[in-house]
Structure 1
Amino acid sequence: MIILGSTGSVGRQALEVAELFNLPIEALSAGRNVQLLNAQIAAHKPKKIAILEKQDYPHLQVPAGTEVFIGGEGIAQMVASSQSPLVLNALVGFSGLEPSLCAFKAGKTLALANKESLVVGGWLLKGAHILPIDSEHFALNVLLKNTPKEHIDTLFLTASGGALRDTPLEQIANQSLEEVLQHPNWQMGVDITINSASMANKLFELVEAHWLFGGLKVDACLERSSSVHALVRFKDQSYHAQLSHPDMRLPIIHALSPENAPNAPTKPLEIFSTPFKFEPIDTDRYPLWRFKDLLLQEPKLGVVLNASNEEALQIFKAGAMPFGKISALVAHSLEHFKDKLPPLENLEQIQALDKEVRHFVQALD
């Protein structure tokens, strides 16, 4: 297989799964954590490596004969030149779209943890064979197997509420990065943990679900234990739910080696001691949730959502603005661009809008 983003949270867990079940790795890509990448190369002996920056090449430790690719274009070249039929895309952010498109063009199966691929270009991936890695979309995929669409009323994603779900409303806007990163249930990367606190992550997942599941009606609710990952409400008003211990290795194993799923090293869910309660998402606490309906009506606004949010995150992480301004910048961007979306028929047009939105946010700040 090919693993993109091997030094990130999902990438590291994917390599744990590969080692556990002796799955061969043909290619790896990583960002700037060259020390960890070198350890992964030594352990898994891939034939191809891609790194983000040329300046890191002298620090790379690769055996003779290993092909090395550099930059975003290099990642795409690595995917296209590899023989493996499976690509796990665990890259973070907008940069994940081009490799996803490359995998699709090459006829490869896409195990997708890079939600931005669908948020900013889901219509370009129509027809791709996608195995969702997000716990919520994995859960929906399980629930919808062999289920006629005409029987379904609504798909429900669940949200933990993030680190600030119980913070007094008047204190949320000024929370520090350290406080925002204290997720109650999951161990995740920095950006997704911040997005969980702002509810931007759940907006991303709504757009993902729109493209993955053929435009079925989608909604979300709070479920604080992160044990119920998704629900399906049928037209007869009954519900089906998928429950499991919050562990990303479960969807990873189902994507990479489904035959080994019965041997997954995940803990059983303690159903007798886990409280299950479903709550609506409060737009006073999570103001971005007000844009749910707009994004589902015009899902190509996902380009604006992602670009504005990525820019706002960078400013917040640099300590240059308070947490509450993230939602304000994203909201201003969505309002500004909602009636002026250009044609988005190819990667180049999406990249142009992405750049325009980033400049807009930078000017606002």
Structure 2
Amino acid sequence: MIILGSTGSIGKNACLLAGEHGIKINALACYKNYKELNEQIAKFNPKLVYIKDENLKKYINHKHVFTQIDGMVEFLKACKSEFEGDLLINSLVGFDGLEPSYHAQKLGFKLALANKESLVAGGKFLDTEAINPIDSEHFGLKFLLKSSPKIKKLIITASGGAFYNLSQKELKTATPQMALKHPNWDMGAKITIDSATMANKLFEVLEAYYLYSTKSIDACIERTSSIHALIDFVDGSSTAHLSKTDMKLAIAHAIGLGEKEILENVNLLELKSIKFRPINLNKYRIFALKDEVLKNPDLGVIINAANDETVYKFLEGKAGFLDISENIFKALDKFGSSSIKSIEDVFEINQKVREFCKGI
């Protein structure tokens, strides 16, 4: 298989599973963590590697290194010419993941997707039926949908993030250090902030729409993160997916290890008290956009770009926590009537929204 984003949490877990189950890794790609990449090269001996930062190429212990000068698409084309029929894991962070997702499918790779932005911004231009989702919620939904009766509603769960117990007044002075303390998951900075604002859950609703072709999707708070997804069926029955909070399970199914023992089962006798609560739309303003986004999924590219720019401003201390949602609504007011008819339109609107948010 090929792993894009190999030095991140998903990528490292994918490498771990590959090593344990004898799966050949033919290519690795990362942003700038050259030390971790070199360790992976030494262990898995990939044929091709990619590091985005051209200045770091000289540190990579490999003969065939691509960078952003060559381009990710050229890297994927080289992979295609070297090895046919590979599974490609895309766990890149942010909007940069859309282009490789789009071209990976065009080139015939089987796509295992952990990059939310590919679907949020460009889902209408991807073959969503051919995607193996790597997200605990969407894996849970896919698992529950095996040989299932007709769906009434899909439900995904949210932990509530680091600020669930904070008041609206306290959020005004929330710091990046506070926001990065997720109660259940060990994730990167960007997605941890998205969890605190509930932007992450809005994106997952839109992902579920593209993956499972229904607009009957909702989310609720489940603080332990033991239950990742639920489904109501039209016959009146409901079902839930439970597992430990470990992304190796979703990754394993995405790469064809669904029949292997990956994790220990949840001990039901030791399970914490589980309660489901509604999402407070006054506190989590971004999630209040759910119904509007499901009516017009093209808004995803605008929301993603505005969120992306402002989250990084927040992490750099250049914006307040509440500015994240505020800038999303400002961007929607300005660009919400934009028409997206091609993949090129996605990239154009993405750039315009980012420039607008940089100027706020």
TMscore range, shorter length: over 0.9
Q: State the match for 1:224 in structure 2.
A: 223
CA offsets 1:110-130 (integer angstroms, 9 cap, x no match): 000001100010010035511
Within the candidate set 343, 354, 360, 1:358 is matched to 354
List structure 1 segments (4+ residues) > 3 angstroms apart after TM superposition.
none
Which residue matches 1:27? 27
Letter in 1 for 2:106: K
* Segment drifting more, 167-176 vs 96-105: 167-176
Residues 20 and 267 (structure 1), Cα distance of their counterparts in 2 relative to 1, 3 Å cut = same
1:293-312 CA-partner distances (Å, limit 9, x unpaired): 11110011100011000100
In the alignment, the residues of structure 1 paired with residue 215 and residue 145 of structure 2 have an alpha-carbon distance, to the nearest angstrom, of 11
- Structure 2 CA distance for aligned equivalents of residues 132 and 3 of structure 1: 14
Which residue of 1 is the match for residue 127 of structure 2?
Answer: 126
Residues 92/122 of structure 1: CA separation in 2 closer, same or farther (3 Å cut): same
Instruction: Please tell me the residue identity of whatever aligns with 2:239.
Output: H
Matched, 1:237 2:236: yes
Distance 1:57 1:127 in 2: 34
SS at match of 1:263: coil
Gaps of at least 5 residues in structure 1 are: none
Q: 2:277 aligns with which of 279, 286, 308?
A: 279
Q: 1:283 Cα deviation (Å)?
A: 1.1
Equivalences for residues 226-265 of structure 1 within 5 A: 226-258=225-257, 261-264=259-262
Q: Does the 8 Å contact 2:140/2:228 carry over to 1?
A: yes
Q: Can you list the C-alpha shifts for 1:225-263, whole angstroms capped at 9, x where unaligned?
A: 10111000112332111111111000111111325x432
Kindly provide the CA deviation profile for residues 242-297 of structure 1, in whole angstroms up to 9, marking residues without a partner as x.
Answer: 111111000111111325x4321x23313223211111100122111211111110
Alignment of 1:2-151 (within 5 A): 2-62=2-62, 66-71=63-68, 74-82=71-79, 83=83, 84-126=85-127, 129-148=130-149, 151=150
| CA distance in structure 2 between the aligned counterparts of 1:329 and 1:72, rounded to whole angstroms | 32
| Kept in 2: contact 1:108–1:129 (CA 8 A) | no
> 1:215 deviation in Å?
2.6
2:202 alignment counterpart: 203
Q: How many residues align?
A: 355
- Structure 2: distance between partners of 1:305 and 1:51: 28
- Paired letter, 1:7: T
Q: Distance in 2 between matches of 1:93 and 1:87?
A: 17
TM-score normalised per structure 1: 0.94
Q: Which amino acid aligns with 1:197?
A: A
Q: 1:72 to 1:239 in 2, by over 3 A?
A: farther
What's the CA shift for 1:80? Answer: 2.5
> When the two structures are superposed, what TM-score results if normalisation uses the length of structure 2?
0.95
Quote the Cα distance in structure 2 between the aligned partners of 1:277 and 1:108: 41
Partner of 2:333: 335
- The question of whether the paired residues in 2 share the 8 Å contact of 1:72 and 1:95 is answered with no
Asked if the contact 1:89/1:110 (under 8 Å) is kept, the reply is yes
> Residues 294-339 of structure 1: CA distance to partner in whole angstroms, max 9, x if unpaired?
111001110001100010011101101211111111122123322x
1:39-83 CA-to-partner distances (Å, cap 9, x unmatched) read: 111111100001101111111111xxx422111863222223322
For residues 171-182 of structure 1, what are the structure 2 equivalents within 5 Å? 171-182=170-181
Residues in 2 aligned to 1:283 and 1:93: alpha-carbon distance in whole angstroms: 25
In structure 1, what is the Cα distance between the partners aligned to 2:219 and 2:129? 25
Q: Write the distance in 2 (CA, Å) between the matches of 1:79 and 1:145.
A: 32
Q: Which amino acid aligns with 1:350?
A: V
Q: 1:133 to 1:4 in 2, by over 3 A?
A: same
Structure 2, unmatched stretches of 5+, are none
Q: Tell me if structure 1 keeps the 8 A contact 2:102–2:125.
A: yes
- Alignment check: 8 A CA contact 2:190 2:312 kept: no
For the residues of structure 2 that align with 1:72 and 1:292, how far apart are their CA atoms?
Answer: 38
Identity %: 41
1:73 and 1:357 map into 2 onto residues whose CA distance is: 26
Q: Deviations over 1:105-151 (max 9, x none)?
A: 11211000001100010010035511000000000001112224xx2
Match of 1:324 in 2: 322
Which of residues 294, 297, 302 is equivalent to 2:295? 297
Task: Give, in whole Å, the separation in 1 of the partners of 2:26 and 2:296.
Answer: 38
1:280 alignment partner AA: P
